[in-house]
A and B are shown apart, each in its own frame.
Chain A
Amino acid sequence: MSGPLLGVEDLTIAFEQGVGGLLRRGQGLFTAVDHVSFAIGRGECVGLIGESGSGKTTLGRAVVQLIAPSAGLIRFDGTDLTALPARALRPYRPRLQIVFQDPTESLNPRFSVEEIVTEPLRLLKLGERAGWRERALRLLRQVGVTDDALSRPPRHFSGGQRQRIAIARALVTEPELIVLDEPTSGLDVSMQARILNLLRDLQGRFGLSYLFISHDIGAVSYLAARVAVLYRGVLVELAPTRALIAHPAHPYTAALLGALPSWVRGRSELPAAEPTRIVAAVPGQGCPYAARCPRVLERCRTQRPERRAIGAGREVACHNPLDSAA
C-alpha cells in the first residue's frame, strides 16, 4: 500500500480530428495530452495549470476513466485502471470522483438535490437504501447547504451553492481522490473564495487528495503543494508550488507568472518578454512552445526537449530553462 495514490505514466490521448466524410477517415490525429507523467500522494493536492486548449480537462477526465487514453497508464493505488474491464473498474469508482466546472451543467435540472447527491450511491449500490437520505443530509450540512435543500431542484440555488451540492455529491462515496476541474472559474470572487476555503477545509478533515485543474494560478497556489504546468498537452514543468512561483524554470511558466496582476503576484518583478524572433517548430518534433519562446534556441525547433530533473522534486522539459537554483 505504499507508493503514490495516483500515478499517471506516459499518458497520451489523441483524438481523430473532425474531418468528416467517408473517404477521408482518420486523417488528422490531434494529440490533446502528450506523454504526461506525474503522481499524487495520499492527502496531497497537485495543481494542474494550463490555458484553454492545453488538454487539462481531457487529462482530468481520463484520470476518472471518462476518456480512454491512447497510450500510457493510470495507476490508482497500484492498479492500472486503463487495463481493467468495466466490471473490474467498479470497486474503484467510489474512490475516485470528479467535480466539473459548471454546476449548472453538471447537476441534472430535473432532479431534486436529494436525487443528485444520492445518485452515486444508487448506481454503485453503496450502503443501505434507508441510510442514503441521512448520508446526503450530513454531507450537505458539511458543505454548508441547509437541510431544506433536499427536495428542491438545483435552479433554486445560486451558482456557489450549486457547486457545493456538486462537491457533496463527489464526497458521498467517501472518495480518496477528487479531480477538481476548474471548480471556481464560473463564480464571483467572493463565492470563489468560499469554495476554495471549503475545499481546503474538506481536504484537512477527510485527508483527501486533489487534482486541482485551473487556469488561475492564484487559486492553485492556495490549495496545491505541487504544480504541474501543461502547454498544448505537454507537461512542461512540475515543481513544488513555492519553488515554482519564486523561480520558474520553463519560459512558459515565467510568462504565465509575469502575466499575473501584480496584486496577485506580489512585488517580484518578472519582465514580460516578447520572443526575439518567431521560430516555428517542425510539427511533431520540436518544442511546442518554440514559436512564442523568448529563449528559443535552434535545436528547440527540431528536437523535442525531454523532461529532466533539476533539483528537489523539480522537473522541466526545456533546452534552455531559466536559472532556478537561485
Chain B
Amino acid sequence: MSEAAPRRWGFLPLLRWGEFGRRWRPEPLVAAGLAMFLALAAFAWLGPLFYTASPYAIHAHRLFLPPSLRHPLGTDDLGRSFLARMMYGGQPSLGVAIVGSVVAMLIGLGYGMTSGLSPPRLDKALMRLLDAILALPTLVLMIFFAAIVPLGPLSLILLLGLVSWPGLARIVRNEVLAYKERDYVLAARQYGAGTGYLARRHLLRAMFPIVVVNATFTVADLILTLAGLSFLGLGIQPPTPSWGGLLGNGSNLAITGSWWLILFPGVAILLAILSLNLVGQGLLNRLEGR
C-alpha cells in the first residue's frame, strides 16, 4: 500500500535541492508562456486604448492596403483598419475560450468528484454515461448546435463549455478514487468526517493543480475550436471580428495577394495556443517533479 522506505539511493532528495534558499524559482516554461499570453491579452484589451481607430469604419478609398506606418497591419477588403480588427478580434477569441474553459472545468470537476465519491454502482453508471458522451463527435455536435442556437458570445461559451468537460471529469474521478484511499483521508474518516467534508477540505484542494493544468490546455483547445468554427462561418458572426473569422475571411481573399490578412490572425492564434501549451507543460513538469 505504501511505497518502500526511501532508503535505497537515499541521496536522491539531494538532487532536488532547488528550494535551496527556499526561494520560489519560476518554471522557465511557465514564465515564458505566461508572458506571451499576457502580451496577447494586453494587445486585445488594452491595445484599443492606445490605437483608437474603429474596427468597423468602412473606407472605400483604401481597400487592401499592405502594412505601412499609417496602417500598421494594413487594411482589409472593406478598408477597415486591420490592426483595430485584430485587437477587437482578440477579445472574443480569447474571452470566449477562457470563460468557456472555466465552465467546462466547473462541470468536469463537479461530475468527476460526484462520480468518484458515489457508491461503486452509481460511479460505474456515471462513467458509462461519460463514455457515451465522449463517443459523440465534438465538432459535429458543435455544428449541429450552432445551426439551431442563435450564435453570440454567450451561446458559444455555453456550447464550448458543454462539449469540453468530459476529459477533466474522468481525470478528476480517477484522482478522487486514488486520494480517497490516502491515509490522511482515512484518518479524517476515522474522526467521523462525512463525504461533504472530505470533498471540501481534502479533495478539492488536491484537485486544484490538475484542474489548473487542464484548464490551460482546454483554453488552448477552445481557441483552436473557436477559430475552426469561425473559419467555417459558425463562430462569432461578422461584422464582429474574431481571429478565426479574420483568418477565414483572409483565406477567401487570398487570390488578391493580401498576405497580411492571413499572416497576422494566423500568428496570433498560433502564439496563443503555443503560450498556453508552454504554461500547461511547465506546470505539468512542476507537478510531476514535485
CB distance from B127 to the nearest CB of A (A): 14
Check: A169 CB closer than 8 A to any chain B CB.
yes
What are the interface flags for A100-136 relative to B under an 8 Å C-beta threshold, 1 for contact and 0 otherwise?
1110011110100000000110011000000000000
Give the number of chain B interface residues (Cβ < 8 Å): 21
Q: In the complex, identify which listed stretch (B36-44, B62-70, B184-192) lies at the interface while the others stay far away.
A: B184-192
Q: Does A61 count as interface, using CB distance less than 8 angstroms?
A: yes
Q: Are B187 and A169 in contact (CB under 8 A)?
A: yes
Which residues from B are CB-within-8-Å of A93?
A: 190-192
Nearest neighbor of B202 in chain A, beta-carbon distance: A108
- Distance between A273 CB and nearest chain B CB, rounded to angstroms: 29
Q: In the bound complex, how far is the Cα of B187 from the Cα of A105, in angstroms?
A: 10
List the A residue with the shortest CB-CB distance to B189.
A66
Of A105, A120, A186, which is in contact with the most chain B CB atoms at under 10 Å from its CB? Answer: A105
Quick one: given A108-B202, A123-B197, A186-B2, are A100 and B186 in contact (CB under 8 Å)?
A: yes
Decide: A102 and B183 in contact? CB cutoff 8 A: yes
Instruction: Check A57/B190 contact, CB under 8 A, given A105-B182, A108-B202.
Output: no
B192 & A66 in contact (Cβ 8 Å cutoff): no
Kindly provide the distance from the CB of B22 to the nearest chain A CB, expressed in whole angstroms.
9
Q: Contact partner of A186 among B5, B186, B192, B205, CB < 8 A?
A: B5
Q: Are A102 and B186 in contact (CB under 8 A)?
A: no
Question: For window 187-242 of chain A, which residues contact chain B by CB distance below 8 Å?
Answer: 187-188
A123 with B186: CB separation less than 8 A: no
Are B193 and A61 interface neighbours, CB within 8 A? no
CA–CA, A76 to B188, complex, Å? 20
Q: Is the Cβ of B192 less than 8 Å from the Cβ of A106?
A: no
Q: Determine whether A151 belongs to the interface, using a CB cutoff of 8 Å to chain B.
A: no
- Least CB distance from B98 to A in Å reads 26
Contact residues of B between 166 and 212, Cβ < 8 Å to A: 182-184, 186-193, 197, 202, 205-206
Contact: B193 with A100, CB < 8 Å?
Answer: no
Which chain B positions have C-beta within 8 A of A94?
Answer: 191
**Residue A264 lies at the interface, judged by CB distance under 8 Å to chain B:** no
- A64-100: CB near B (< 8 Å → 1, else 0) gives 1110000000000000000000100110011001101
How many residues of chain A get a CB closer than 8 Å to chain B's CBs?
30
Q: Which chain B residues border A27 with CB–CB below 8 Å?
A: none
Task: Tell me the complex Cα distance, A98–B187, Å.
Answer: 7
B1 at the interface (CB under 8 A from A): yes
A262 interface residue (CB < 8 Å to B) = no
Q: A102-B183, A106-B183, A110-B206 are in contact. Are A119 and B188 (CB under 8 A)?
A: yes
* Interchain CB contact under 8 A, A105 and B183: yes
Within 8 Å of chain B (Cβ to Cβ): is A324? no
The CA of A108 and the CA of B182, in the complex, are separated in Å by 9
> What are the residues of chain A within 8 A of B202 when measuring CB–CB?
108
Residue of B2, B184, B186 ringed by the most chain A CB atoms within 10 A: B184
Q: Is A303 an interface residue (CB 8 A)?
A: no
In the complex, chain A residues whose CB is within 8 Å of the CB of B3: 102
Complex contacts, A86 vs chain B, CB 8 Å: 192
Instruction: State whether B187 touches A65 (Cβ < 8 A).
Output: no
Contact of B5 with A185 in the complex, beta carbons under 8 Å: yes
Q: Is the CB of B192 within 8 A of A124?
A: yes
Q: CB-CB < 8 A to B5: which residues of A?
A: 185-187
Q: CA A105 – CA B181 in complex, angstroms?
A: 10
Residues of B within 8 A of A61 (CB): 186
- When C-beta atoms are compared, the residue in chain A nearest to B209 turns out to be A110
Q: Contact at B1–A57, with CB atoms within 8 Å?
A: yes
Cα separation A89 to B192 with both chains bound (whole Å): 9
User: B193, A123: Cβ atoms under 8 Å?
Assistant: yes
Complex A-B: 22 CB contacts under 8 Å: A86-B192, A94-B191, A100-B183, A100-B186, A101-B183, A102-B2, A105-B184, A106-B184, A106-B186, A106-B187, A107-B184, A108-B184, A108-B205, A110-B206, A123-B191, A123-B192, A124-B191, A169-B187, A185-B5, A186-B2, A186-B5, A187-B5
What 17 new A-B contacts, CB under 8 Å, besides A65-B190, A123-B192?
Answer: A61-B186, A64-B190, A66-B190, A90-B192, A93-B192, A100-B183, A100-B186, A102-B183, A105-B184, A108-B202, A119-B188, A120-B191, A123-B191, A123-B193, A173-B191, A186-B5, A186-B6
